[in-house]
Structure 1
Amino acid sequence: MSGDLYFKPKARLMSQLGDQLIKNESIALLELVKNAYDADARTVEVTMNNIDQPEIGIIIIEDSGEGMDYSTIKNVWMELGTDNKKKKLEKMISENKRSPLGRLPMGEKGIGRFGVHKLGQKIHLISRRENCNEVVVDIDWLKFDNYDYLGDVPINIIERIPEYFVGDKTGTRIVITNLKSQWSRGKLREVYRSLNTLNSPFESLTSFEIKFNTNHQEWLKGLLKHEEIANYALFEANIKLSKSQILRYDYSFNPWDSLTKLDNRESLRENIEMVIGEGRGRNKKLIPIDLSQHNIGDVTIKLLIFDLDSKVLSYGVPDRKGLREYLKTNGGIFVYRDGIRIYEYGEKGNDWLGLEAKRINAPSISLSSSIVIGAVYLDRKTSSGLEEKTNREGFVENQAFETFRNAIVFAIEKIERERAIDKELLRKFYGHTNKSEPVMAGIEDIKKKISKKITDDDLQKELYKCLDNIENDYKYISDVYIRSATSGLSLSIVVHELQKIISELEHAIKQEVASTHIKALINDLAKVTDGYASIIRNQKKTIGDLKDVLRNALFNVKYRLRVHKIDIIDDFSNYQGNTNVKCVENLILGTLMNLIDNSIWWTEYTKIPQKKIYLGISDDALEGYKSIVLADNGKGFTIPTEQVIKPFISDRPGGMGLGLHLANEVMNSHGGKLIFPDNGDLELPTEFQNGALVVLAFKEAIQ
């Protein structure tokens, strides 16, 4: 026997699709509202009454769009998975056209109407297109259980002379009753918030207004609007990405008038190459991030960033609790395409940019959703490489999306480093001070939590060993400070940073099942304590020759210099004067290697065609000192030099911001100085006049 077979969808398939394709009620309502946007509606009104009582509750979505006629409802709205919008979008893009209100369709999959099934059992739809009769459709999802196959279920449809959309009115009205769930205060607030963020908080669409009505207004109490708290943002950023560059970068620090010790600061930069590191350690390669390779057009990012330190807030925010609650509920970085939000980026639990994970490793620098309100803008026409998932929960996570996300993260990291400069001053004059006692207690608490939360014995032992080393290093640092302050280190900085990392680590152990975050954080703790401890350990200073130190440094990095095709201009070997200084040679050697590494990275990143590093010895850099001079032919420092020696401040993607700070502490511990002369202060070859210039100045050893 042979012949053709055909799929026969069961009637209950509608129920299954409605429940599985649409994640929750918020998405269901958003899909219906987006349908109104695609219909070129100027307004859409959402009404939700008695929703805590499913049997009498009612949800109404009514828009003023182009509406549907009998044929559209029969052949498009009633056709599941239709590609009508997709074809319409492709045609509009190919013909370079938009709707009368300048829109391109947001929907493509033909599944938005399943949102009505997610919300209730009975649907009453009225729609009217211009110069057409009114069409009425009634659907009772419960009846679908009485039929075997989907094609057997009768749907009542009536075409009539307009009774609701009378005169010149057009649009669609959907009334949903017999609600499928009992709504709570929290669920209503979630929906309200989602609808409130459907339009960008920075550039709301005046041509698309969402009205919200409910007889449970008391449930919405305390939900502030964006414009009410925007003035409390201390930091702001506007960034434009194009192809492989940050085309324009505009950051500003805007202290309130009450913060009289601080000044406004603005940073404007252009044409910054976007890269991501591939590999590990010193062999890491820089890979360009290029949006144009994946049909992603220009991207705009806007951020408002807040500081929730209670002492800082006391200077300018009357309702501190209200601000915190608002940010807790509404904070995040959202994505908008043609001004309409792509769900669910920015939602709680969706750390799509990895902000929370990064904050565990660098709590004092990294942003989190609780302190930022942000928007990422895409153009519908030029961002075709980003494809929305069938279930409407964001984009398909393909290579295009990964590139898009990497570009956003790169830009945000620039802002984080910029903000760190101003945050350090903010804390200095107005923040809380930290004491040393909580550090040891914090480490002990972490050990207890590890014993309870980490069940892997080998991992437990590894973490305990790391924490013991950290504890010993910290004890040593603390003891030295109690005895003497001659090293020039700032213990308050050490304590401040360690406390923050410890706090985040405690949170991570409670929340994270994956051990990688915990390991990374403990490694960061170890780097901080080991870096400081290595400087102030009682290592014996001996008479060392700066020429030998320079030669050893070059020998240790010769492979990297060869790989990156960097020429060394040796102006120290023929130096005739005394080059002996009293020092701990391994510390100076490590400092020099770190400085050379910085020059290698930045000349590579800024695409200098013939990369060069100058090394010399000078008597003129600082009077009375013997100095090592290091310069490169790159673009120079991107952060003010008075800031780069401060801890955890760096403009290098992925950098901890400790290198130059520790170099400064090394020089202080030797009675020397780390200085950054202005270009032209020293007599150098012409090609080094605009690059980075660093001087390590030592007191000359007595012969």
Structure 2
Amino acid sequence: MSDKESPRFRPRARLLQLLGDQLIGSPRLAIFELVKNAYDADATQAVVTMSRLDKPDAAITVVDDGDGMSYDTLRNIWLVPGHDHKAKSRAEGVRTLKGRLPLGEKGVGRFAVHKLGQAVEVVTRRAGGPELVLKIDWEEIAASEFLDEARVEIIERFPESFAGTNGTSVTVTGLRGEPWTRGEVRRLFRQITSISSPFAARSDDFAATLVLPQQQKWLVDVPHTETLLESAPWQFTFSLEDNRFSWRYEFRGFKGIALSPRTVEGSEYGLLLDPKDLPERDQEALKAEKKQPRAVRSSVTHQDGIGPISGTLMVYDRDKDVIEKIGHSASLQEFLNESGGVRVYRDGIRVYNYGEPGDDWLGLDIRRVNSPTKRISNNIVVGAVDLSLEKSRGLEEKTNREGFVDGIALGRMRALIRGAVSVFESERNKDKQNLRKLLSKQRDSLGGGIEKPLQQIKSLAKKHNLSDEVDPLIEKAQRAYSDMREIMLRAGISSMSLVIVYHEIDHGVRLLHTALRRGADADGAIQQARDLVAVLDSFGDLLRKGEASDHDLRDLAERAAELNSIRLSNHDIALEVRVDRGANSMLVPTKFPFGLVLGAVTNLVDNSVYWLSSRWPENTPEAKRRLLIAVDEEAFGSPALIIADNGPGFADGLEDATEPFFTRRPDGIGVGLYYVNLIMHTIGGSLRMVDTDLLPLGSEYDGAALALVFPRG
């Protein structure tokens, strides 16, 4: 057969579409790939700019200050799918001037741009060279039948984008897929800013930043990672090199809890492993032994293809008794929901997607099932494992850029890290046990907390001949307090919250005590006693609602609307419910005690009814009272139920408005918003004011707007 007749491969032009669209899992991951390319180019920074995201001409640009590309590199490497120059450099140990080995190896990551948009413009310049411009329209490429028939043009010009410097700019337009939402942008921000390990010492500097010229407010309240990491009660660092395991455990303690900080260090040859954690091949070898070991000590062999491992774990406590003591409770909950897990870094640069929400690659949650009090869960740890790119050649990244290829090296690495986690857990359990004992004493100490002052009030009432009027109220207050305390403890509501409640009730008791001691008039003293009973009764009514279970937040919104519809109609209030029940809609899952939270929502509706009537009295011409109940999944990083109206709005900040006994209503006690805030904290959520610049609700809702933010289900 002649050469002319020999068959040959001729890839279709649409192959490039498939490479970009099918190999890369998400637009966020596509941007992550472009940032990694900046690292490979020896850049010190990559700036991702997302412009006009709400307009048809939206664009995404990634600019770096790396080496840039020559005409030869652009033509013979960048435009050649599957080029292996990076893989060869890594295999030969060829490093850049900054000492980096290339992260890329398969030669397809740059085609991630197709995942992002229809057209791409690459502008690049090497030091002292001309500026080169390459423009690609993917539809034009796909219109060619075969790949070798597709034509692109590289234009050489006098430097404009990189005058006096070097680097590369990649701009994508004609963005594909769903519009970028606030939630997706915030997740992208966390992703690209986590490209460098927050713990590892680096010999070079590389950072990625995200800029939104028109939507910068979307990032205003993103939790400050460094502050939240510093607030972790536990820190554990470890290293395993040549089978020498060294570690340092630090318990930092909690503000307001009398537990002393503690630090322990250790070093030993080998690490104890659970045989069940090892890869199947290693388990088969153990089965050949006469007696099956319950634990195995690691050997140098277990690090073959992995190299040295080091790690840092920042561990938190999400127990209701504790989290309020850490501070930043709302932002911390959001931070742990989004960032909880253990990430993997090679040469200080992140390997996606380890440590992403829902990716429990170490199986921490599964191993916790049988020992929930002794094991840590994936959502209370923010950790990083660091590897050497040069020495971890047994760990190969998947083509889709979502982790390592499953194999014996990955299985052994997982077992080794689990072994290190077990050492941490053994030390942590000592401090957890002391913490439980201390909190148990605190809880028990609340039983007779108001008994003594109430007895003193009875004595003073007798002295002022008010026993007949005051004693029945005091006895009712005692019963209500005991009832409320029992409900809170039985429902698992934190003793820290109970302490807060106790102090506020104690405040009311002391006011009554002082009034009697100073000889207040009978009517005033009796009214203060009634107010105290009302406070206690209100707590009891709100708390007598059941335990937490899984719910669709949309059901809560609709039930609250149904429950209040007649009342709102009687007050001429137009009710709008924004809940997505369309064919493509999905559940909005979260976990909470339905009746308890329904009471909180009704409390907010009560406030709106009052203040709407205040702004729009009955005799106001064309009074248009409006109330909105809506469900949102993006604005706060977790599911949220929003209550908004067109009343006068808040005259005070949320911190003041949720203070107990603070009110601007002439007939108010000042506990409504306090209860709502307390309830949301006890279920791991939060009460927040809505910034309508960040979350537009419509010009008709220009009054108060509050969000009940729930933990993810």
TM-score bucket (shorter structure) = 0.5 to 0.7
- State the one-letter code of the partner of 1:298: P
Query: 5+ residue gaps in structure 2?
Result: 276-282, 445-484, 493-546, 552-713
Q: Distance in 2 between matches of 1:285 and 1:118?
A: 48
Deviations 1:549-579 (Å, cap 9, x if unpaired)? xxxxxxxxxxxxxxxxxxxxxxxxxxxxxxx
Describe the shift of the 1:172–1:261 C-alpha distance in structure 2 as closer, same or farther (beyond 3 A).
closer
- State the one-letter code of the partner of 2:172: I
- Aligned twin of 2:393: 384
Describe the shift of the 1:173–1:202 C-alpha distance in structure 2 as closer, same or farther (beyond 3 A).
same
- State the one-letter code of the partner of 2:219: L
- Aligned twin of 1:177: 173
Q: Distance in 1 between matches of 2:124 and 2:151?
A: 19
1:100-499 correspondence to structure 2 within 5 Å? 100-167=97-164, 169-181=165-177, 182-203=179-200, 207-214=205-212, 215-246=214-245, 248-277=246-275, 278=283, 283-284=292-293, 286-290=295-299, 292=301, 294-317=304-327, 319-430=328-439
Q: CA deviation at 1:201?
A: 1.9
Q: Distance in 2 between matches of 1:43 and 1:204?
A: 17
- Aligned twin of 2:16: 14
Are the equivalent residues in 1 in contact too, given 2:43–2:66 (CA < 8 A)?
Answer: yes
Deviations 1:110-156 (Å, cap 9, x if unpaired)? 11101111111110111111222111100001112322111111112
SS at match of 1:422: helix
Deviations 1:227-285 (Å, cap 9, x if unpaired)? 11123211111100124442x01111111353224343424343343433247998446
Deviations 1:86-118 (Å, cap 9, x if unpaired)? 111222x2xxx5322121111111111011111
Q: Distance in 2 between matches of 1:153 and 1:395?
A: 34
Q: Distance in 1 between matches of 2:549 and 2:238?
A: 32
Q: Distance in 2 between matches of 1:156 and 1:424?
A: 68
Q: Distance in 2 between matches of 1:266 and 1:285?
A: 26
Are the equivalent residues in 2 in contact too, given 1:249–1:270 (CA < 8 A)?
Answer: no
- Aligned twin of 1:476: none
- Aligned twin of 1:609: none
SS at match of 1:173: strand
Q: CA deviation at 1:40?
A: 0.2
Q: Distance in 2 between matches of 1:33 and 1:402?
A: 28
Q: Distance in 2 between matches of 1:504 and 1:301?
A: 36
Deviations 1:165-222 (Å, cap 9, x if unpaired)? 122x111001111001211122111111111211112237561121210122232243
Q: Distance in 2 between matches of 1:441 and 1:363?
A: 19
Q: CA deviation at 1:405?
A: 0.9
Q: Distance in 1 between matches of 2:326 and 2:254?
A: 7
TM-score computed with the length of structure 2 as normaliser:
0.58
- Aligned twin of 1:62: 63
Q: Distance in 2 between matches of 1:204 and 1:51?
A: 36
Q: CA deviation at 1:56?
A: 1.2
Which segment drifts farther, 343-352 or 213-222?
213-222
Are the equivalent residues in 2 in contact too, given 1:64–1:171 (CA < 8 A)?
Answer: yes
Deviations 1:608-642 (Å, cap 9, x if unpaired)? xxxxxxxxxxxxxxxxxxxxxxxxxxxxxxxxxxx
- State the one-letter code of the partner of 1:84: H
Q: CA deviation at 1:224?
A: 1.2
Q: Distance in 1 between matches of 2:549 and 2:263?
A: 33
Describe the shift of the 1:282–1:50 C-alpha distance in structure 2 as closer, same or farther (beyond 3 A).
farther
Q: Distance in 2 between matches of 1:145 and 1:316?
A: 55
Q: Distance in 1 between matches of 2:550 and 2:133?
A: 58
SS at match of 1:113: helix
Q: Distance in 2 between matches of 1:506 and 1:422?
A: 31
Are the equivalent residues in 1 in contact too, given 2:270–2:298 (CA < 8 A)?
Answer: no
Are the equivalent residues in 1 in contact too, given 2:12–2:145 (CA < 8 A)?
Answer: yes
Query: 5+ residue gaps in structure 1?
Result: 443-502, 508-703
- State the one-letter code of the partner of 2:120: I
Q: CA deviation at 1:80?
A: 0.2
User: Equivalent pairs: percent with the same residue?
Assistant: 38
- State the one-letter code of the partner of 1:428: K
- State the one-letter code of the partner of 2:64: D
Are the equivalent residues in 1 in contact too, given 2:270–2:299 (CA < 8 A)?
Answer: no
- Aligned twin of 2:542: none
Q: Distance in 2 between matches of 1:400 and 1:336?
A: 16
Q: Distance in 1 between matches of 2:337 and 2:104?
A: 30
Are the equivalent residues in 2 in contact too, given 1:137–1:155 (CA < 8 A)?
Answer: yes
- Identify which of 27, 34, 38 aligns with 1:36: 38
Deviations 1:648-691 (Å, cap 9, x if unpaired)? xxxxxxxxxxxxxxxxxxxxxxxxxxxxxxxxxxxxxxxxxxxx
Describe the shift of the 1:74–1:263 C-alpha distance in structure 2 as closer, same or farther (beyond 3 A).
closer
| Cα-Cα RMSD | 2.9
Describe the shift of the 1:441–1:219 C-alpha distance in structure 2 as closer, same or farther (beyond 3 A).
closer
Q: CA deviation at 1:433?
A: 5.9
- State the one-letter code of the partner of 1:423: K
- Aligned twin of 1:82: 83
Deviations 1:474-521 (Å, cap 9, x if unpaired)? xxxxxxxxxxxxxxxxxxxxxxxxxxxxx99999xxxxxxxxxxxxxx
TM-score computed with the length of structure 1 as normaliser:
0.59
Q: CA deviation at 1:288?
A: 4.7
Are the equivalent residues in 2 in contact too, given 1:126–1:134 (CA < 8 A)?
Answer: yes
